Amino acid sequence: MTDGESLVSARARPPRRYSMRTGLLLLVFACIFPALVVASLAVYESYVIQKERIFRDKIFLARNLTAILDRELTAVEAGMQMLASSPDLVAGDLPAFHQRARDAVRFQIADSYVLTDRAGRQVLNTLVPYGTSLPMSRVPRDLDRVFESRAPVLSGLFTGAVSGSPRIALGVPVLRGEDVIYSLNVGLSPERIGAVLGRRSLPEGWVAAVLDSSGTIVARTRDTAKFVGQKAVPALARAVQDESEGSLETLTKEGTPVYTAFSRSALSGWTVAAGAPMTLVTTDLYRSIAWIALGTLAAFGLGLWLALKLASRLTSAVQGLVGPALALGEGRPVEVPRTHVKEAVEVGTALQQASRMLAHAQHLAHYDPLTGLCNRVLFGELVLRELAVAQRSGASFAILAIDLDGFKAVNDMHGHAAGDTVLKEAADRMANAIRVSDVAARLGGDEFAILLLAGNRESAQAVAEALVESLSLPYANVKVAVSASVGIAVYPQSGTTMLQLLERADVALYQAKGLGKRRVASDV
């Protein structure tokens, strides 16, 4: 066939024709498919980001629960050290010490105090009256180390000889001269340990547990009696033995799929694990899939040409936001790529603003480096948050303004190092005198403040008087008499704004000082 014949044949061949129906279907598919891919990627990335956020939040929760548990154990140990050095015990007046220990146990998470000798035999037990015949069975062998190490020892889980129920024991040495004559032990029930974790309100369906070094469940926020003493699920038991902190997907003992995070305590060696149901993410995923299906159907009514032209731009813009979103979730600086899509620019701007706000919040959320208490900025944020809650719920709360009387004389006589020691000791006394849910802060110098959640005038007065007594006790190696004055302001009687409440608390504080110091004065 010559070139001329080929050209004539090509001109004579009719062009390939498509029906309008076929053409529209192909065009709709060409428009919808890219949008469907982009939406699916966005949903998947959202799923990944939300999943990572839950894991991150769970780790923060596990750390928080571990800190709460450590604080309670530290308070118990401090109380035991005081009891171990009490004059009754050192002098051998066991009946008087028995009464003292029974009085002390009411103010701690402990169930009982037990005094044992070197042979492991019980000398007295606060669960029964003094002089009652005690079982001959030994206490856990872990506590024998108290006599050798001369240091506190935390036992594993065991069954109490008197109580007949699961217990964990903490033992401290009782010294007479240079000799360890007894081991003073405190019994902790799994229920009480679980109640400590329960102070941090967990959402519906969430569960937290305390595991010992072998992965055995020591306490649990749910079904404690059913699962205490059992091993954790294998995946979690292996993880806590390999790592001190981490997260994984696993099952609860009831068989519920959960996202689990865990953190090990450097104080007790226990690991606190917290699990959130996987439905937190999958429910949103299914909802997003449903929205994608609806959006796909709606897209059939849109302009096909516009959808085809914008698909590539939207895909690029959305994918360009994945990196900044992940960077925001990981706390890294957010850099948004250039784009001509207005909505993507707005989201990128919002991500950058959120990144700056997060960095600013992290900068503000600092604690006083000397005392470990909240600083003035964080205390103000917590007061504002509680104020918003109280305005919605109608509940009350109180603010205590505290000033140390005679503190300047400590610096003048003993120097600033001694003054710093007094401030730290005062901060420790404040932390021990308030609930875990309350907040103590150092505002500057020897000025402190306390936020009492759900507190009224009567409860605030009682806490303030206890603080005055505690802060007015002698300080080691300080000859100057240091005391405290406290001013009380209660929402809403003293004011309905943070500024009003702080000012009224300061006014009440100056009234207390004007009355002769070492006083408590209230604005209401």
SS (H, E, C) 448-482: EEEEECCCCHHHHHHHHHHHHHHHCCCCCCCCCCC
Rounded to whole angstroms, the Cα distance separating 207 from 212 reads 17
Query: Nearest 5 degrees, angle CA 210-CA 215-CA 218?
Result: 35
Strand partners, 271: 211, 264
Dihedral sign for Cα atoms in the order 236, 239, 244, 248: negative
Rg (CA), the chain: 33
- Our CA dihedral for 28, 33, 39, 40, rounded to 10 degrees, sits at 140
Q: How far apart are CA 285 and CA 283, in angstroms?
A: 5
Question: Taking the alpha carbons of 149, 150, 155, 160 in that order, is the dihedral positive or negative?
Answer: positive
Q: Counting Cβ atoms within 10 Å, is residue 304 exposed (0-12), middle (13-18) or buried (19+)?
A: middle
* Residues 494 and 390: beta-carbon distance below 8 Å: no
**What is the distance between the alpha carbons of residues 521 and 515, in angstroms, rounded to a whole number?**
9
Reference 52, options 325, 272, 289; nearest CA is 325
Helices 416-433 & 407-414, crossing angle to 10 degrees? 140
Measure the CA–CA gap between 66 and 56, rounded to whole angstroms. 15
DSSP state, 161? Answer: T
Tell me if 70 sits within 8 A of 267, measured CB to CB.
Answer: yes
The rounded Cα 43 to chain-centroid distance in angstroms is: 30
Check 212, 405, 446, 506 and give the catalytic one: 446
Q: How far is it, in rounded angstroms, from Cα 464 to Cα 442?
A: 16
SS (H, E, C) 225-289: HHHCCCECCHHHHHHHHHCCEEEEEEECCCCCEEEEEEEECCCCCCEEEEEEECHHHHHHHHHHH
Q: Is 117 designated active site?
A: no
DSSP summary character for residue 492: T
**What's the rounded Cα separation, in Å, for the pair 155 and 175?**
20
d(CA 173, CA 191): 26
Report the relative pairing of strands 520-522 and 483-491 from DSSP bridges. Answer: parallel
Strand ranges across the sheet with 217-220: 217-220, 207-211, 271-277, 257-264, 245-251
In this structure, the number of other CB atoms found within 10 A of the CB of residue 66 comes to 25
Helix (H, G, I), strand (E, B) or coil at 513: helix
Q: Does residue 448 contact residue 430 with C-beta atoms inside 8 Å?
A: yes
- 286 within 8 A of 46, measured Cβ to Cβ: no
Which residues are part of the catalytic machinery? Answer: 446
